[in-house]
Amino acid sequence: MRRLFAPAIAIAIGLVVLLGYFLPDYTTIAELRIQIVHWAVILAGVAVLVGVFNLFFVHIEKIRKKQKGSVYSLLLIAALFATFILGLALGPDHSIMRSLFDAVILPVETSLMAILAVTLVYASMRLTRRRSDLMAIIFIITALIILLGTAPLPLFEIPMVGDIIHAWIVNVPAAAGARGILLGVALGTLMTGLRILFGADRPYGGK
């Protein structure tokens, strides 16, 4: 039964949302679309709770099977419980909860951002080893020009790079390429949506 109902409901709701997008806001279908999108946001909130349970069970299994890195899983579960209980008891706006965010999450994410910068420099150095073609060389030269044109240099500005070459690259080839890629992505997005609307792709399961 689920095999019939799930696609039927998904397709019907998809059609209402799509039609509602093109119709003026005061029409019944457009109002229905807004209502359905609000429900989707609420469901996405509930999904976070399901996701946290999923995270919990994945790490419990890791600890149970004594897999590699299970110590970190234990740490994660302890932190999850501590944060959850503190959040329930004190509320998300309490100073302790805020300092947990400022002292743990923010520095960790900033460190990962710093690692990312190093990773990208290393990746661009490896690029010519992986792909030694004309496009790779153009990519590296362009990246260097953009860097030199954007970065504040301590003593002097390189003539032409900041004001002419950098501006031309950003406004002409980069903008044209970006628009071309975005048009392709938009067409791909449209076709993916239509496949789901026709029931050919069923990300909600079913055969």
Partner 1 sequence: MNLTAAAAGLLLVLLSAGLLLGLSLLKRKSKASFRDIPAFTRLQKAIGTAVEDGTRLHFSLGRSDLVTPRSAASFATLGMLRRIAEVTSASDRPPVATSGDAALAILTQDTLQAAYQAAGAGQQYRPTTGRLTGLTPFAYAAGALSVIRDENVSANILAGGFGVEVALLTDAAERENAFALAAADDLAAQAVLYASAQEPLIGEELYAAGAYVQAGPTHTASLHVQDILRWLIVLVMLGGAAMKLVGVL
Of the candidates 1, 4, 26, 50, which one interacts with partner 1 according to CB under 8 A? 50
DSSP state of 162: I
Q: Which is nearer to partner 1, 148 or 196 (CB)?
A: 196
Q: In angstroms, rounded to a whole number, what is the distance separating the alpha carbons of residues 87 and 171?
A: 48
Cβ at position 48, least distance to partner 1 in Å: 4
Of the candidates 8, 12, 37, 158, which one interacts with partner 1 according to CB under 8 A? 37
Query: What is the residue-wise DSSP string for 56-89?
Result: HHHHHHHHHTT-TTHHHHHHHHHHHHHHHHHHHH
Q: In angstroms, rounded to a whole number, what is the distance separating the alpha carbons of residues 40 and 21?
A: 15
Q: Which is nearer to partner 1, 10 or 86 (CB)?
A: 10
Of the candidates 48, 88, 134, 155, which one interacts with partner 1 according to CB under 8 A? 48
Are 137 and 128 in contact by the 8 Å Cβ rule? The answer is yes
Of the candidates 12, 34, 75, 115, which one interacts with partner 1 according to CB under 8 A? 115
Radius of gyration of the chain (CA): 25
Footprint on residues 85-114 left by partner 1 (CB under 8 A): 105, 108-109, 112-113
Are 29 and 23 in contact by the 8 Å Cβ rule? The answer is yes
160 near partner 1 (CB under 8 A): no
Are 203 and 14 in contact by the 8 Å Cβ rule? The answer is no
Q: Residue 124, Cβ neighbours under 10 Å: how many? A: 14
Are 25 and 35 in contact by the 8 Å Cβ rule? The answer is no
Binding mask 64-83 for partner 1 (x = CB under 8 A): ---xxx--x-----------
Residues that bind partner 1 (CB under 8 A): 18, 21-23, 37, 40-41, 43-44, 47-52, 54-55, 57-58, 61, 67-69, 72, 105, 108-109, 112-113, 115-116, 119-120, 122-124, 126-127, 130, 139, 143, 178, 180-185, 187-198, 200-207
